Amino acid sequence: MRVPGKALLFGEYGLLAGSGGPGIVLTLPQTSFLVRVEVVSVSLHAVPFLEVKSAFLGPEGLCASLERWQTWCDEGARTQGGFSSHERYFFSVLFPFRDALAHAGLAVRVAVLEAFSPSLGLGSSSALLVGVHEGLRRLVPLGPHDAFEAALKSIHLYQGRGSGYDAQVQRAALGTLTPKVFVVVPGEQCTDVSDVAFSSWQRDFAAGCPGFSLHASGTYAPTAELLATPEPVSKSSGMPHTSYASAHTALAEEWRAGDFSLRRLPELCARSREIALHQGLFGNPNGPFALTCSTLQSQGVAFKTTGAGHGDALLCVDSVPGKSKFPETSPDSLPNTPQSRLLGSPFFRLEDHMSKRLPLSLVRLQEKLLAARERGELLIQAGDRAYASAPSNIALVKYWGKKPGALQVPVNASLSFSLAGFRTFTCVEARASLDPLDSLPAAVGPSFPKAVPAHRIAFSEALFARPHPADEGAFEPPDAKVSRFLGRVLEGVAPDLSLSLVTVNTFPTACGIASSASGFAALTAALGELLDVERHLGAEGAQHWRVEWARIGSGSATRSCFEEREARFVAWEPQGTNTEVACLTRGLPSCEGMDALHHGVVVFDAARKAVSSSEGHEGAATSPLQALRVAGIPRAFAAAVQALASNDFETLGRVAEEDAFAMHAVMQTAQPPACYFRPSTETFLSAFVAWRDSRNLPIFWTLDAGPNVHLLYRAQARDLVIDFVRQFAADEPDLRAYLENGKAAPAGLVLGARAVRSLFEAREKLLVRHEFSSEAKEAYNTHNPIGSGSGSVHA
């Protein structure tokens, strides 16, 4: 079971003192416990035992016989000496299950596979308790409610007068992969208010409000100690309520009534801190925690503790939007303790989370994969491989510009034509086992964030072709974009998995032929094969998983997740803000005449473009022409869809050319401007348009974010196009043209994972010293994706 940590933002002392709440709690799935509970043996004649493997307990863990456990369970023995703190804790966790376990003769092993430090005050003891109880509930006949009641008994045994709110929240957040916000009334209700809170925070971000971050304080007062003393009653005339508990509760109610507005945080933090100061919850005035708080307060940082004072994590309001105060804080200005230096490394920053929020539909699919892993159904061994390929695409109605504050959501709808012959082939290999029992953590520490597994990647422009000099020999680290993408897909589902990638394009990379679209679509499909998403999510769920993750990797990649047998034309449309999906990607119906279109590209410059598409998208809104272009997209999109259905190639071509002109006008008037044209691009377009119009030929052009011209034409115009490009190429020594690659998949190349695997295996065997053997030449001629026949021009 994966159990998230939690931070109690407001209402803390009211919850802990049992005054009834409410409290506002944030769960932290990336700071979590992963607990596996399994039955080692079952025997009515053997003496059951309990074995616990956890970094908390040192390398030996804990192994206790049933007899020792029962000795502790005897009334009065729990307070006697002779038992270690680890034994007392785990015995109390398992206490409600003792009769069922003893009667069944179970030998139980508990493995704590991932954990966070108890010194953080993020609910480590309750996380372990919930994980063990939920695991045991599957082994013995206890219902969900009974299991929770058993958990509360365990808390009372170990902590004394505890409310159990943390177990209540963490149980409600089991199996989740994104932070959630709960309003809690102990023992009564635990209400998920994430949608309200996140919507409010998103609005506040858009209005320029700063967010908040959580930092380790470095000190921690055990909850049992705080609860051992009855709640003091306030005698300060400045107190808003008659007790400290009700004062904390009032702050939670106030923030909730204001829809969790970030604007209120500085004021509420100051008031919470003042209440805690009157209570004396900061401990020794000369202690490290009190000194740390004094330093932060003197620097003008708005902050509060997330527990009942005396330590815990600190909730700190960022000084300006997107910028925490802590990176500016010199460690020397804080108390000279190892713990206080943790304040420079927030383990949760709200803005980081809000900027990468996944669509709810994708979160649910990820959580299904997580559940499959925790059931032991998702096992990957080192050396396991997965293969996939995906086509590039050319947008006929372009998308340019993204919605601010969203994750790869376009400002307008787009429509593309899949280029089946321009493909990326990808092989993904696991470099480590995904069976969590293969390696238990050696130590638990409060370092955040967790280290990202290393990945390797190798690029090559064409199958069986000699790599570029920079690519020869060794694997190279992937660029940051690929690394972030891999980390995000695997986060929560398989964060400990590292990968080796080999990706092969059949066309020039990063020069305006949508290599990122085919690349991320193929990578996503290969990851899906490795994680076996179709078995766990079903065919429809797996396709949605691929489409959504490809979009997050590269926006246009979502249109490359369809093979030609499914759809040659694909639409990508943004959706409303209140839907589960941010975008909708769908194949469009088209008549046979449109499906048979030929496509070619005239390559003037195959070098990596100076301004990436990502950079260009960021500047789109600065162009005075962008709003006008976006306003005209619905008309152009509707006309293109109608043209597909009615075999109106002329209308489709006209829409494509007009939108290409409009998009490049936006690019060239943005700040900073991005001009992707080359002199040869303009020369070719002028000559091509004059030649086409003089003959009234139905041949059309378009450009993506690059200098290379895409051509669309019917079969009867094929020879005319080839002749024109050959004549033009006579004066352009560097020109290359691929004039039929978008028509269909190359003959003899089946595009399933098995065929792609065969292609990679042949490549490994036949590519020796980057030279062709006779056998390799035969395989190359059979499966050559570039297909340099009569339809291609090489000057």
The pLDDT tens digits of the residues spanning 486-526 come to 888 988 788 778 888 888 877 777 666 878 899 999 999 99
Per-residue pLDDT, averaged over 544-559, amounts to 94
- pLDDT confidence band for 337 (50 / 70 / 90): very low
Supply the pLDDT for residue 550. Answer: 96
- pLDDT confidence band for 84 (50 / 70 / 90): confident
State what percent of residues in the chain have pLDDT above 70.
Answer: 69
- pLDDT confidence band for 157 (50 / 70 / 90): low
Residues 523 and 459: beta-carbon distance below 8 Å? no
Q: Is the pLDDT of residue 416 over 50?
A: yes
Supply the pLDDT for residue 471. Answer: 39
Residue-wise pLDDT for 171-208, tens only, equals 889 888 889 999 988 766 789 999 899 989 988 887 88
Per-residue pLDDT, averaged over 572-593, amounts to 83
| 400-439 per-residue burial string, b: 16 or more CB within 10 A, e: under 16 | bbbbeebbbbbbbbbbbbbbbbbbbbbbbbbebbbebeee
Q: Which of 416, 772, 445 is nearest to 568 (CA)?
A: 416
- 436 vs 55, which has greater pLDDT? 55
Residues 348 and 212: beta-carbon distance below 8 Å? no
Supply the pLDDT for residue 693. Answer: 95
394-403, 509-518, 538-547, 645-654: least confidently modelled range: 509-518
Average pLDDT, the chain: 76
- 755 vs 780, which has greater pLDDT? 755
Per-residue pLDDT, averaged over 728-737, amounts to 78
| Number of residues assigned to the chain | 795
The gap from C-alpha 749 to its chain's centroid, in whole angstroms, comes to: 33
State what percent of residues in the chain have pLDDT above 90.
Answer: 27
Amino acid (1-letter code) at residue 737 = A
Supply the pLDDT for residue 236. Answer: 42
The most confident of 52-56, 409-413, 481-485, 591-595, by mean pLDDT: 409-413
Supply the pLDDT for residue 320. Answer: 67
Phi, psi of 70 (to 5 degrees): -65, -30
Q: How many CB atoms lie within 10 A of CB 271?
A: 17
Residues 644 and 652: beta-carbon distance below 8 Å? yes
- 180 vs 115, which has greater pLDDT? 180
Supply the pLDDT for residue 99. Answer: 67
Q: Is the pLDDT of residue 639 over 80?
A: yes
Q: Is the peptide bond before 589 cis (omega within 30 degrees of 0)?
A: no
Q: Is the pLDDT of residue 791 over 50?
A: no
Supply the pLDDT for residue 457. Answer: 65
Amino acid (1-letter code) at residue 306 = T
Structure tokens at 728: 């033009």
Supply the pLDDT for residue 543. Answer: 94
Supply the pLDDT for residue 103. Answer: 67
Structure tokens at 287: 């202690």
| 646-666 per-residue burial string, b: 16 or more CB within 10 A, e: under 16 | eebbeebbbbbbebbebbbeb
Supply the pLDDT for residue 223. Answer: 56
Q: Is the pLDDT of residue 281 over 60?
A: yes
